[in-house]
Homo-oligomer: A and B are copies of this chain.
Amino acid sequence: MNPLTSPLLTDLYQLTMLQAYFAHGMLDTAVFELFVRKLPDNRNFLMAAGLEQALEFLEGLHFDEEEIAWLEQSGLFRADFLDRLSKLRFTGEVHAMPEGTVFFPNEPIVRVVAPMPEAQLVESRLLNLVHFETVVASKAARSVLVAPGKLLVDFGLRRAHAGEAGLLAARASYIAGFSGTATVLAAPLFDIPIFGTMAHSFVQAHDDETAAFERFAQACPASTVFLIDTYDNEAAARKVVALAPRLKEAGIATRGVRLDSGDLGALSRSVRRILDEGSLQQATIFASGNLDEYRLRDLLASGSPIDGFGVGTSLVTSSDAPFLDAVYKLQEYAGAPRRKRSTGKATWPGRKQVHRSFRESGTLDHDVVALESEDLPGAGLLQPVMLSGKRVAPAPDTHSIRAGAARNLAALPPSLRGLEQPAEPYRVDISPSLRELAAQIDRKTGKP
């Protein structure tokens, strides 16, 4: 069983519920919507991501013989149900916001319309993919906004939450505007630029730091960003200056240095001076080591001459907000709108659309969450992406998704662009018709 494509990568209750749906012939059309209930304290907006992986999952959904055999021997399921399950494919339709779209609480970003068992079964993995990439894109966008024009590289694979997270974090952060990643596999799979320098172990494996730099340059003449903090940053910067003419003779340009510890602001200034005085004005300074958007903002605000940043753990774990209150909720079944009223978790019923209004400057003004059937001004952000279980268009390439995300970030009002909470949250209205529908359902089911 392939861990990432197996339909057993789901919650057990999805399968028991499916057994009940089939047993009772509950195969009517269900409408589920994926949305986030509220913003974390440290986010002024969210950025949708993960849709392509979700659609790939839906297109490939099936139970193979080995999986059915395992379910059979588990003793938890009936033979007639497993027979139905072995034939199940996703045949529904999906509307979604394009990846890279900025969005806000209570706005559906994915809507699934399918026979109940199909729409139900896909919940766990759909959320698992879209939630995570949205978490990372939303985090990454903050670094992109505070460090315009800087080289931003995802360095997070080693402390990402296992392998798929490392890989998809590279994708989500690139979509949000990062320049690329250190994770090699992201290049063949998603056509994302990859970057790398050298590790302390390489320097330590040599008795002499200059020898380490020179050998690395000889072996990898295109990758001459030297890591200078293994012992003493300034001493190492002077060694780079001394080495550079020898490398130049061999036809190798000294591209730059990497700082990875200590007071990055002070070090960048002293190292910049050493490089400049050593005729290495073109060499860049790249910084890494426990960085996040706050450190980037502060380093740049204090005028630190840093050209690029490797951002790792804080990015890929979204350490200050490692999850979103993202849910996938039934909004309509068999033509009737549905509403959950659990304390603090009530939902807006029915098939919905999000309409966005812009100011003349092109800046976001406000959104309206309305019923799909309503005719409202402003573009509808949810677009059809899958019909009868097949994508309506080929998957967009990662670069055009990234370009769309950049347009979204450029349209953010100034109040949402910083790292601090705005005085007023972005305005998201619920349409009167949608409010009336919710009230109708409450009256019918006899509770306020």
Contact = CB atoms under 8 A, between A and B. Distances in A.
Classify the interface of chain A: helix, strand, loop or mixed: mixed
Nearest to A133: B162
A53 to B, nearest CB: 8
A122 to B, nearest CB: 11
A35 to B, nearest CB: 13
Interface string A308-325: 000001001111001110
A80 to B, nearest CB: 11
A70 B9 CA distance: 30
Nearest to A196: B12
Contact of A344 (B19, B261, B328): B261
Interface stretch (A200-208, A390-398, A421-429): A200-208
B161 A165 contact: yes
A219 B129 contact: no
Given A9-B185, A231-B445, A165 B162 contact: yes
B333 A1 contact: no
A11 B157 contact: yes
Interface residues on A, range: 35 or more
Interface in A172-204: 182-185, 187-189, 194-202, 204
A286 interface: no
A184 B15 contact: yes
A215 B12 contact: no
Contacts of A260: 342
B164 A4 contact: yes
A319 B325 CA distance: 13
A128 B161 CA distance: 7
B262 A317 contact: no
Contacts of A128: 157-160, 162-163, 166
Interface string A339-356: 111111100000000000
A32 B201 contact: yes
Query: Which 4 pairs show the lowest CB-CB distances between chains A and B?
Result: A12-B196, A161-B161, A20-B219, A13-B196
15 contacts: A3-B185, A13-B197, A16-B196, A17-B202, A19-B219, A20-B218, A24-B219, A120-B202, A127-B158, A128-B158, A128-B159, A132-B162, A200-B342, A231-B447, A319-B322
Interface of A: 1-4, 6, 8-17, 19-24, 26, 30, 32, 70, 74, 76, 116, 120, 123-125, 127-129, 131-133, 135, 155, 157-169, 182-185, 187-189, 194-202, 204-205, 215-216, 218-220, 222-223, 229-232, 260-262, 313, 316-319, 322-324, 326, 328-330, 333-334, 338-345, 445, 447
